[in-house]
Amino acid sequence: MVLVAILWSTAGVATRHLEFARSFEVTFWRSLFAALSLLLILPFFQGRSVFVKIRHGGLALWASGVCWSIMFTAYMVAFTLTTVGNVLVTLAIGPLLTAIVARVAIGYRVLPRTWIAILVAGAGIAYMFASQVGSASLLGSLVAFSIPIAGAVNWTISQHAHDQGHDLDLVPAVLMGAVLSTAATSLLAYPFQASLHDVTLLGLLGVFQLAIPCVLCMICARVLHAPELSLLQLLEVIFGILLAWVGANEVPAPSVLTGGALVIGALVANEWLGWEKPAAH
């Protein structure tokens, strides 16, 4: 899972070394190479049954695929509009936003400590967004905010399916998300301007930053407890900001450091308490 976080964190710094590719074209090439590599990787892990699952997955699987496509698309577009730190800190609020969406949609119980964490993390995000009012980077942060929203809806769909006695396999949904993202951005990316350097870099991201770590994350989720998974995923924020700082000289703004500290601190405290309590019991 640490390796997954490291691989995920390379997207931000990679976009800073693109020559001509911008906006939706960045997403198109990454999603295309991710889809192609997943078409090879997933049958290796699950056999041809992965295609059967897609064909008979029903509405829930397709809804999950749409959520993945939104996350894949918005993730790269956001990096072209704002700083790496803004994007990654906004993404970090995902677990707490998931608790809110699940509470509203399916009556999922939210513990008092999680409500406190939501308030603290929300204050951090609000402070970071407020500092961007009037600047172009605010649009990028808002685009990035759609990612944890889609992730929260995705988890709620999966949980609802589980409650109905139908466990949803999210691995085929990742492939569907990559294909839908590629299709949705193919026209928006026109006219294509990416150089061979850009296509190569985005191709490497599609395989090693998206396809492989997403599959590894699904495997890790079968072994690790939810709090462990959430805490280790936070390493993406730290690694991503450091890589952009060292590899692209993108120094995080004070508002990002302050807001990020509130968000990550709230998440760590919430997940740590959730981890420790069952152990003590």
Output b/e per residue, 136-151; b: 16+ Cβ within 10 A: ebbebbbbbbbbbbbb
| Amino acid in the structure at residue 35 | A
| pLDDT recorded at residue 54 | 79
Distance of alpha carbon 8 from alpha carbon 216, whole angstroms: 11
Closest by Cα among 130, 5, 8 to 79: 8
Tokens matching residue 71: 């996350």
Task: Quickly tell me which residue has 């990035």 as its tokens.
Answer: 144
Helix (H) or strand (E) holding 230: helix 226-233
- Packing angle of the helix pair 235-248, 84-92 (nearest 10 deg): 180
DSSP string, 138-187: HHHHHHHHHHHHHHHHHHHHHHHHHHTT----HHHHHHHHHHHHHHHHHH
Query: How confident is the chain (281 residues) per 10-residue block, as mean pLDDT?
Result: 93 93 93 94 78 79 92 94 92 88 87 90 90 80 93 87 75 90 92 93 95 86 75 87 93 90 90 66 43
| pLDDT recorded at residue 280 | 43
Q: What letter does residue 132 receive in the DSSP assignment?
A: T
- Packing angle of the helix pair 226-233, 254-280 (nearest 10 deg): 160
Q: What letter does residue 46 receive in the DSSP assignment?
A: H
Distance of alpha carbon 22 from alpha carbon 39, whole angstroms: 26
How many other CB atoms are there within 10 angstroms of residue 183's CB atom? 14
Say how many Å lie between the first and final Cα of the chain, rounded.
26
Domain boundaries, the chain: 2-280
Q: Is 279 helix (H, G, I), strand (E, B) or coil?
A: helix
Distance of alpha carbon 206 from alpha carbon 210, whole angstroms: 5
Q: What is the pTM of this model?
A: 0.88
Closest by Cα among 66, 42, 44 to 53: 42
- What percent helix, strand, coil does the chain show, rounded to 5? 80, 0, 20
How many other CB atoms are there within 10 angstroms of residue 166's CB atom? 13
